[in-house]
A and B are shown apart, each in its own frame.
Chain A
Amino acid sequence: MIRLGLWLLAALLLGGIVHLATVLLLPNVATNDAYARVSAIAPVNSVIPVPPPTPENALMPFMDPAFATSICRYDLSRAPLKFSVPISPAYTSVSFYTRGDVAYYAINDRAAGRRVIELDLMTNAQRAELPENEDITAADRLIVTSPTTTGLIVIRALTPEPGWTPAARSSLAAARCRPQ
């Protein structure tokens, strides 16, 4: 009886370890996460419009149908990236996700404070390599550092009413993400 109890205790401990290990490792082995879904439609370092979600078809679950969305799947391994998007009439936001779908930075049109959201995206190493004499503290140069070499930039423009869709789409169509 005691022996069975000991075996059960060992099983419980081991079960706990299995539980924690699977939860922690899952993000590294997932094959149908947002990054993988985007990879299927988007080449690297270019802005691709995402089809609006419908009941039959959506790139990802829980997409907000009130938004026009474009995505840039970036790869910083060769060079940092220059990103820009003109703001749309209602509300524009730019969100940054790591390779593992973690949101690490997001900015909206009001925070940007200008007609165009412009920024430089680079890895920590590339940031450290920036020449000293360059005025990187200049207020007009926003630098975002990505924790991972690859990831996603999600650009979204709100269409508060259906008639606003063309305006939102056209501002997204002017979005650029290019290696420097």
Chain B
Amino acid sequence: MRLLFGTMFALAVAAALGLGTTWVALTRGTAYGGVTIGAWTAWPKNGTTGIDPYARAMVVRTGELPVGSGDGVAFYASTDDAGESLDGRCDVLVSGITPQARFWTLTLYDPEGRLVANSIRRQGFTSQEIIRKADGAFDVAVGPRARPGNWLPTGGIDKYQLVLRLYDTPIGMATRTGADAPMPSITRRGCQ
């Protein structure tokens, strides 16, 4: 009786623990081998056959296709430089320059990777569309209300993430620091 009870107990705990940790690992996005520069993180290895099992499981669960390493690399940011999560009701400034690449795109998604509806149907900018300052740097105003210059609307959703994709770029698995790859800063300006 005691043995039976013990076995049941151990199996129940094991199942809860095992499945629970798997769920947390796959939904919280705890992949290994990331390159973090400021608020931005990329997983260049996910675009190769060297992708780790956690990232594979995550990719298969969400249904996305990672950017192939011969194509480019994607940097994700879900917080600003101060670590506050990106809130669509706040005004956020993305400012600076990008690492060397033939083209880049900056896109705004909700936490599930869907584009966000807004009145001007703008979901992002390409390196060719963006309005730059005299020194080549750019400012993108991310927020719920229209702004002059580069305005990326959030549609007022409470959480979003920014994805900066570099195409035809030397940035990849060998990249370690912001000295190799100067990423734009993300600063919160104010909230409604």
Shortest Cβ distance from B10 into chain A, in angstroms? 4
* Inter-chain contacts of B72 with A (CB < 8 A): 93
Q: With A26-B56, A103-B69 given, can you name 12 additional A-B contacts, CB distance below 8 Å?
A: A3-B6, A30-B60, A55-B115, A65-B115, A102-B49, A103-B49, A105-B68, A107-B70, A108-B70, A152-B65, A154-B65, A160-B103
Asked if B27 is at the interface (CB within 8 A of a chain A CB), the reply is: no
Number of chain B interface residues as a range:
35 or more
Task: Give the A-B contact count at a CB cut-off of 8 A.
Answer: 192
Asked if A106 is at the interface (CB within 8 A of a chain B CB), the reply is: yes
Q: Which residue on B lies nearest to A158, using beta carbons?
A: B103
Segment at the interface with A among B12-20, B90-98, B134-142, B173-181: B12-20
* Inter-chain contacts of B65 with A (CB < 8 A): 34, 60, 95, 97, 101, 103, 152, 154
A–B pairs, 12, beta carbons within 8 Å: A10-B10, A15-B16, A15-B17, A17-B14, A19-B19, A26-B22, A26-B26, A34-B59, A60-B65, A104-B49, A110-B168, A160-B129
Does A147 contact B49, Cβ atoms closer than 8 Å?
yes
A residues in contact (CB < 8 Å) with B: 3, 7-8, 10-19, 21-24, 26-27, 30, 32-34, 36-37, 53-56, 58, 60-66, 90-91, 93, 95-97, 100-108, 110-111, 147, 152, 154, 156, 158-161
